[in-house]
């Protein structure tokens, strides 16, 4: 069974009317294959969060979620049966999305079991518009050894599907920025073993403000590493290789070209491959 609940800062279920014709009741919904919580008139409060509960033994691990109309539905892998999704209401968090994200009084929250064809398709396994910085329940998840209070440069921005790369800063030009840290790394965890054979890199290209990396290393969980040569371009750079079974990919040893800018950054990484059937 699937369950969606809107919780307040004390982890209590928020109560209200989903519609003016309905009586006040707790904001939660359940379903077997599909669970949708619709609310017509409630403004999220600071500290509110969404709790999603699934039955991994009965429903499997793959689900499609959409927790706000401004977020693209995402195929995600649940490693745990409960996911607490923190709503991004603080001003610095809101800079990474369109201004209406979580700001409406009308809401439609959805989770459903993934269809088999969605699971086995060749796809971008790193895409997750719902990723959060301190995530340990739902994958894919992006993390980095460079995390600052500037949310527009967090690791999760590199897997959100937003491809605008001709400027920098707030939405729609968010990116993963390294804050001049020469040993910066970016890691995409899948939460299970997947098969991958292609990586696309889209550098932020606000030249001459931006710089770029001319070489970097792509590492896998079995310690296999590939050296990639990259270039100055606003276009997607595609790297294909023999299939690798891995639990993560990591960008390491980023070598910046010698130029007048201190600010190379990554707008998006796309890791293409398949989910393994035994998962």
Residue 267 has pLDDT above 80, yes or no: yes
Q: What is the pLDDT of residue 279?
A: 52
Name, in order, each residue with C-beta under 8 angstroms of 1's C-beta and a sequence gap of 6 or more.
30, 31, 32, 55, 58, 59
- Whether the CB-CB separation of 110 and 30 falls below 8 Å is answered with no
Residue 71 has pLDDT above 90, yes or no: yes
pLDDT above 90 covers a percentage of the chain that reads: 90
Mean pLDDT of the chain: 95
Q: What is the pLDDT of residue 243?
A: 97
Residue 250 has pLDDT above 70, yes or no: yes
What are the pLDDT digits (tens) for 100-145? 999 999 999 999 999 999 999 999 999 999 999 999 999 999 999 9
Residue 277 has pLDDT above 90, yes or no: no
Q: What is the pLDDT of residue 56?
A: 96
pTM of the model: 0.95
Q: What is the pLDDT of residue 278?
A: 58
The whole-number average pLDDT for the span 87-92 is 81
Q: Distance between CA 234 and CA 241 in Å, rounded?
A: 22
Q: What is the pLDDT of residue 88?
A: 81
Both tokens assigned to 278 = 């035994």
What are the pLDDT digits (tens) for 167-221? 999 999 999 999 999 999 999 999 999 999 999 999 999 999 999 999 999 999 9
Segment (H or E) for 120: helix 116-120
Q: Distance between CA 250 and CA 143 in Å, rounded?
A: 9
Determine which of 1-5, 16-20, 102-106, 272-276 has the lowest per-residue pLDDT on average: 16-20
Q: What is the pLDDT of residue 82?
A: 98
Q: What is the pLDDT of residue 33?
A: 97
Q: Distance between CA 120 and CA 75 in Å, rounded?
A: 12
Q: What is the pLDDT of residue 156?
A: 97
């Amino acid at each position: 069974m699937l369950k969606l609940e809107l919780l307040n800062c004390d982890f209590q279920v928020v109560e209200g009317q989903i519609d003016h014709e309905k009586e006040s009741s707790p904001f939660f919904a359940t379903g077997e294959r599909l669970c949708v919580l619709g609310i017509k008139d409630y403004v999220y409060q600071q500290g509110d969060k969404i709790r999603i509960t699934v039955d991994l033994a009965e429903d499997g691990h793959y689900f499609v979620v959409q927790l706000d109309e401004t977020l693209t539905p995402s195929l995600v892998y649940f490693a745990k049966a409960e996911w607490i999704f923190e709503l991004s209401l603080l001003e610095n968090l809101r800079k990474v999305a369109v201004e209406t994200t979580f700001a409406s009084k009308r809401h439609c929250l959805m989770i459903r079991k993934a269809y088999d064809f969605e699971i086995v398709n060749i796809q971008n396994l790193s895409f997750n518009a719902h990723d959060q910085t301190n995530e340990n329940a739902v994958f894919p998840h992006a993390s980095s050894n460079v995390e600052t209070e500037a949310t527009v440069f967090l690791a999760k921005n590199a897997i959100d599907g937003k491809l605008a790369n001709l400027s920098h800063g707030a939405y729609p030009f968010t990116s993963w920025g390294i804050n001049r840290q020469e040993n910066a790394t970016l890691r995409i965890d899948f939460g299970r073993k997947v098969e991958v054979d292609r990586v696309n890199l889209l550098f932020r290209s606000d030249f001459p403000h931006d710089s770029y990396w001319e070489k970097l290393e792509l590492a896998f969980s079995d310690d296999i590493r590939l050296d990639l040569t990259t270039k100055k371009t606003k276009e997607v750079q595609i790297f294909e290789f023999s299939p690798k079974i891995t639990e993560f990919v990591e960008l390491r040893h980023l070598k910046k070209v010698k130029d007048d800018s201190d600010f190379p950054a990554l707008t998006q990484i796309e890791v293409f491959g398949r989910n393994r059937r035994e998962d």
